[in-house]
Chain A
Amino acid sequence: MKAKKYITSYCSIKNGKVNVNGKELFSDSSLPSVDFIKSVYKHFQLNYPKFYKMDHLSKLAFIASDLLLKSNPIMQKYAAEDVSIIIANSASSLEIDTEHQNTISDKNNYFPSPAVFVYTLPNILIGEIAIRNCIKGENTFFIFDKFDSDFMGSYNNSLLDSNKAKCSISGWVDFYENKYQAFLLTIEKEQGILNIEHNSEQLNKLYNN
């Protein structure tokens, strides 16, 4: 019999709203996506100079992960190599891919930049979360047409069951053509304060909330 796993914290950013563990902490539906993300950063005074170098996708992931881990400081409990980061999205890094493509498509105005190019990989956002929190465990970025709670739920459970991770940061971070959504959660073997079992049904419920 496999031990139960629990969703011990979650953070959702969509439609101009920031929700942490079921509580709406910030909302501003008047701003376009890019400005909204900046205003969340300022509102919560996250104070991380590297934020300004990031592409929109990594900024969104950074904010969601920071608010998540402020509500549940898992790194005080687990060793760096025991925490995994397993994240997915639909548009990969297409937002910044388009930006990089625009710097090379005109031969007379050719200016590819390493600062842009480095973000043309979706897993860079995992790297940003890992650097910020000193996390060294398993990391994988998946692509799905939409949030796949069955796959993500069972894969994370199998990582914890096989002790490949003791805690997993997982979820969905997508940003393309002004549409954005972040939903990150921590999964642990202990109930935590939320006492929500980690399974596909609960993941869907919280993702769609």
Chain B
Amino acid sequence: MFLKVESLKKSYKTGEISTQVLKGVGMCLDRGEVGVILGPSGSGKSTLVNIIGGIDRCDSGRVMIEGADITQHKDNQLTDYRREQVGFVFQFYNLIPNLTVGENIEVVSNISKKPLDIDSVLKAVGMLDKKFRFPRELSGGEQQRVSIARAVIKNPKLLLCDEPTGALDFSTSREILKLLQQINKDFGTTILMITHNTAISALANRVYRMRSGEIVEETINESIMSAERIEW
């Protein structure tokens, strides 16, 4: 298994009140697979992905990436893990407004050991002609394309997408999903996606449904739908 999560627990304390967000979650993904986590707000999907991405820590449990337990990593090891192995795509793109498209991608390529060629990646996401534009001059879909380009420029082993189509209309969402599918195919990148949208689960090898900090259902899709055919 490329990714294996075991008995993951996490709680947050607000004053005297402690809220358990993850109650012993387990899941896994093989290399090159696409995983989707479905669930309502507050079900713990973002917390789970944050811990997998190395930007949050758990109370107990294990997160194995290629056999290494990242929950045991020290801060600098986690930094190296994020730096070399994980790419992030956010719902609201999180581009730096005063950097151009090209420069936003350079933010990541600048610290990568073997980054891909910026122009090639921009071409792959269909944004090469807008390399010198600023984020404000782009549509939502275009900004998400840049965000994806920024995530894949380091050729990560794991791409974590938090509601990548949450702020987009249907046709733009479909384009973004096509792009993610293409990246999965071309680069062999393992993708884990959070979404509210059940239709997207048709694109995944494994689908996990969460509720109140627990995985309540795991589905393995025998056949994967092409993003071009997706409807909602």
Q: Do A and B bind each other?
A: no
